[in-house]
A = this chain, B = another copy of it.
Amino acid sequence: MSHRKIAVVITARPSYSRVKTVLQAIKDHPNLELQLIVAASALLERYGSAVHYIENDGFTIAAKVFNVLEGENLTAAAKTTGIGILELSTVFENLKPDIVVTVADRFETMATAIAASYMNIPLAHIQGGEVTGNIDEKVRHAITKLADYHFVASEDAKTRVLKLGEEVDSVFNTGCPSIDIAKAIDTSGKLQFNPYSRYGGVGAEPDLSNGYVVVMQHPVTTEYKDSRRHVEETLTVVSQLTLPVLWFWPNVDAGADGTSSGIRSYREKNELNHVHFFKNMKGDDFLNLLNHASCLIGNSSVGIRECAYLGVPVVNIGTRQNRRERGENVIDVPYSKDAIYNAIQSQIKVNKTPKSLVYGDGNAGKKIAEYLEQVPLKFHKTIVY
């Protein structure tokens, strides 16, 4: 089996966390060479740069590509993708990978998919086949139609990729690599670190020893004009809670400024003596934090995936995670302060929900690396029907 160069493009800090075990398994594999490319918001301090996490974890970055265009509208998302294609083409031209890997469904991952597929480089897609009902879904399924290999996270996703006309021997249910990290964390005992001293952030520093909730709410691309109103419902509820609240800043998206400015403005006008705001956190620390939380509130996919495996109760707000498979740990609510409030009251009474393997058994990284070594190199396909 000859040596293969595998280029993985990371465009956001959460994507890095999600596929870290894949990167590690590629790096550790004797027949694979990892070419790690970091781009888009993964490079920006404003959204929590992934660079120092990546370097601390012992990875070497082969190329950095700054391509986030600034703007308060959706035009910026399109242009960021255009610049990404332009520049990733040059990076691929110079690095000459055997396979390119793109992760999930953020708008700018399309840049990776187009550059690779147009250059006849075999393209692997991690986490296709899921359903959410937002712009990410257009992106996700379009990438499926460009990709040559599909590493999906669940049986439901596999079925959907096959329905989309992909060849059966190109679709692999490896589980989601984010579960690999959840599997590895220490789930015994209490929270082992002080999040304030380790991660800074702003706001109050309430005592966490009697429980706390975590909030993570991203803007939804198709609703970006309402981002501010949506986050204000959550803010209103959160301000009334008695439990400490650890709030994580949203990552970049069209409309990020709606959510961000909503939070910033609310803070200027209201005292939030029990709320602390973080920009980001190392993946395993974040999972440890979640593991000991009374409840996760918001619309992050971590509530659907890792929290299912860990058994953490979740209040999932709005449309962002629509139609993703769920474990029993999730209560879904609309953008309504009353519904959010009631669901939180219900969830914080639960202790833990049962472990679910719907998103994998925690060995996704190794499985993906194995397939990357073994799949036939191809960039030519045709729809099966």
Interface contact A72-B90, CB-CB below 8 Å: no
Q: How far is the CB of A162 from chain B (nearest CB, A)?
A: 11
Is A117 a contact partner of B89 (Cβ separation < 8 A)? no
**Which residues of B are found within 8 Å of A354, using beta-carbon distances?**
none
Set B81, B94, B164, B323: member contacting A118, Cβ < 8 A: B81
Q: Which of A58-66, A301-309, A335-343 contacts B (4 or more CB under 8 A)?
A: A58-66
Copies of this polypeptide in the complex: 4
- A202 and B163 form a contact (CB under 8 A): no
In this assembly, does A79 line the interface, its C-beta being within 8 Å of a C-beta of chain B? yes
Report if A64-B90 is in contact (Cβ < 8 Å); known contacts: A43-B71, A70-B70: yes
CB-contacts of A41-97 with B (<8 A): 43-46, 63-79, 81-94
- Which of A45, A79, A91 has the most chain B CB atoms closer than 10 A to its own CB? A79
Is A268 an interface position by the 8 A CB rule? Answer: yes
Interface string of A348-385 (1 = CB under 8 A from B): 00000000000000000000000000000001111101
Is the Cβ of B165 less than 8 Å from the Cβ of A81? no
Contact with B along A83-120 (1 / 0, CB 8 A): 11111111111100000000000010011001101111
B107 close to A118 (CB less than 8 A): yes
- Whether a CB of chain B sits under 8 angstroms from the CB of A191 is no
Please, how many angstroms separate the alpha-carbon atoms of A385 and B164 in the complex? Answer: 10
Cβ of A138 within 8 Å of any chain B Cβ, yes or no, is yes
The stretch among A140-148, A174-182, A230-238 that forms the contact with chain B is A140-148
Taking a contact as CB atoms under 8 Å apart, the answer to whether B115 and A78 are in contact is yes
A160 within 8 A of partner (CB): yes
Could you tell me if B87 and A87 are in contact, using CB atoms closer than 8 angstroms?
yes
Check: A216 CB closer than 8 A to any chain B CB. Answer: no
Among listed A20-28, A129-137, A281-289, interface-contacting one: A129-137
Interface centre among A142, A143, A144, by most chain B C-beta atoms within 10 angstroms, is A142
7 residue pairs bridging A and B, Cβ less than 8 Å apart: A45-B72, A64-B90, A66-B73, A66-B75, A66-B76, A69-B70, A82-B114
Residues of A within 8 A of B (CB): 43-46, 63-79, 81-94, 107, 110-111, 114-115, 117-120, 131-135, 137-138, 141-146, 160, 163-165, 202, 221-222, 254, 257, 268, 322-323, 379-383, 385
